[in-house]
Structure 1
Amino acid sequence: MIRKIKQMWKAVHMELQEHKSSFLVYVILRLAVLLMMVLQLFNGNYENVFLCLLTLVLLMVPSFIQVNLKIELPTTLEIIILLFIFAAEILGEIQAYYIRFPGWDTLLHTVNGFLAAAIGFSLVDLLNRNEKVKFQLSPAFTAIVAFCFSMTIGVIWEFFECGMDLFLGFDMQKDTVLHSITSVMLDPTKGNHPVTIDGIKDVAVNGESLGLGGYLDIGLLDTMKDLFVNFIGAVVFSVIGFFYVKSRGKGKMARRFIPRRKKREADFLRIIQEEEKEEE
């Protein structure tokens, strides 16, 4: 067991160093996270220290996946994934970019929709190219599967955010300040007729003003916005993937985002295992 862990660890490190550009991004981000972790430790923000540790682990996930599943992530895709992790955990959570920049969450959810569609597409594409598996989908159905995979990931993430807010008292579903609301609950006749209140400038709770300048929506609009931009990202990649399959893999842009099977000479775990067998 220990031997296998050592082999895996060595293979992951070889995988990290395979492409100079992605390795350089990994090193820079790792150093930035370590620096942030030290600062948070000195400030006594232990929750943020945990987030830094989690980020360090997540930064190694792409290489771990490549070694174990024997797939090759294009350098462009790998760099985007690394930047996405850093942007979401360090900048978004610790540096509060989600609050400072209203479009930060929207940007990340759009990218997530795009990346998830790329992953879903690659799963089908790898099966389509596998001679041992009798599995073939047309370009249109491949694009549809990629789109559905991306939207499913988006929905599951929103379930996760809702659960964290309900049961642990977080605010992952960021609230929105509204100046008008429409609800059948306001109908005095109880006749299921929507009633609108316009020009809301202040709301009081238990007799105290919230000071927000409007009505506080509790995450619904944020959730729907996240799903909508996830939808946009999924559609964009699904269209790209459709033409990629249609042209039988000639699309240069799509190739930058679609994982492929590892070549034998790039299977570092196999190489390490064979070298150790020869030494024995």
Structure 2
Amino acid sequence: MMKGSKIIPKTRLLYRATMIILFASLVFAGIYAIFVSNYLILLMSSLVGIIMLLPYFFKWKYKFYIPIEIELIVVLFIYATLFLGDAWSFYARFWWWDILLHAGSAIVFGFLGFFLLYSLYTQRKIQSRPFLLALFSFSFAVAMGVIWEIFEFYVDILLGWNMQKSGLVDTMLDLIVNTIGAFIASGIGYFSIKVRHIPIFSGNVKK
């Protein structure tokens, strides 16, 4: 018990410090964008800032609590994708940036889908086997990856961007990496239930 009580404050402290640093960078980037008339950076900074505030809105409005570990990972992913990747051209500067984010996003969405069902499972609102929980998290992550590829396709057409780069090859590589990441996340969730030890989820589910 004492061990857990020490871990949680450190996790929250890390979460708050990271959020403050990210928000500060967005504010400075927004001010910089205004001075240099770079409206893409201004748009992305504002969009990422709004998305980062959504978890607080859900907590206040609907009393829906997401584990801070997952929330932090999701925020970092959005920051890396929209702010660093698009606004600051990390996709063009680093060839591995797109692969890294697709693998990371699959794991994040896999854990998120797993948490959604696991929270209902622990509250006895649904009855299911661990395999089905893992299958849902895998399917959820893969579906999110497909939706993202569709989003990239339409953004390239409507805004003239180059998010898909080489087209079919880039899309297939992204989907393959996404599937591998989804499999890893769902596998971790499955074996966590089987050994009855889920440190990430158990301390954050509202019962």
Taking structure 1 as the reference length, the TM-score comes to 0.65
Counterpart CA distance in 1 for 2:171 and 2:60 is 35
Point out the structure with the larger strand share. 1
Paired residue for 2:71?
A: 78
Counterpart CA distance in 1 for 2:159 and 2:78 is 23
Matches within 5 A, 1:243-258: 243-248=191-196, 250-252=197-199, 255=200
Q: Which amino acid aligns with 1:48?
A: I
Counterpart CA distance in 1 for 2:59 and 2:179 is 27
8 Å contact kept, 2:135–2:186: yes
**Residues paired across the two proteins, number:** 197
Counterpart CA distance in 2 for 1:148 and 1:99 is 30
Counterpart CA distance in 1 for 2:50 and 2:104 is 21
Percent of aligned pairs with the same amino acid: 35
Paired residue for 2:89?
A: 96
8 Å contact kept, 1:73–1:259: no
- Confirm or deny that 1:49 pairs with 2:46: no
Q: Secondary structure at the match of 1:173?
A: coil
Counterpart CA distance in 1 for 2:168 and 2:203 is 35
Once the two structures are TM-superposed, the CA of residue 261 in structure 1 deviates from its matched residue by: 3.1
Paired residue for 2:172?
A: 224
- Confirm or deny that 1:262 pairs with 2:172: no
Once the two structures are TM-superposed, the CA of residue 21 in structure 1 deviates from its matched residue by: 1.9
CA deviation profile, 1:244-273 (whole Å, cap 9, x unmatched): 22123x133xx26x884336xxxxxxxxxx
- Tell me how large the CA RMSD over aligned residues is: 2.0
Paired residue for 2:60?
A: 67
Counterpart CA distance in 1 for 2:59 and 2:108 is 16
Counterpart CA distance in 1 for 2:80 and 2:60 is 25
Counterpart CA distance in 1 for 2:176 and 2:120 is 29
Once the two structures are TM-superposed, the CA of residue 93 in structure 1 deviates from its matched residue by: 1.2
Distance 1:68 1:118, change over 3 A: farther
- Confirm or deny that 1:238 pairs with 2:186: yes
Once the two structures are TM-superposed, the CA of residue 65 in structure 1 deviates from its matched residue by: 3.0
Distance 1:67 1:117, change over 3 A: farther
Computing the radius of gyration over CA atoms, which structure comes out larger, 1 or 2? 1
Counterpart CA distance in 1 for 2:150 and 2:170 is 13
Counterpart CA distance in 1 for 2:100 and 2:60 is 30
CA deviation profile, 1:172-199 (whole Å, cap 9, x unmatched): 2122xxxxxxxxxxxxxxxxxxxxxxxx
Counterpart CA distance in 2 for 1:259 and 1:124 is 15
8 Å contact kept, 1:71–1:260: no
Once the two structures are TM-superposed, the CA of residue 82 in structure 1 deviates from its matched residue by: 2.1
Unaligned runs of 5+ in 2: 1-10
Q: Which amino acid aligns with 2:84?
A: L
Distance 1:48 1:259, change over 3 A: farther
Taking structure 2 as the reference length, the TM-score comes to 0.87
Q: Which amino acid aligns with 1:227?
A: L
Distance 1:86 1:19, change over 3 A: same
Match for 2:103 among 102, 110, 132?
A: 110
Matches within 5 A, 1:75-224: 75-131=68-124, 133=125, 135-175=126-166, 219-224=167-172
Q: Which amino acid aligns with 1:130?
A: Q
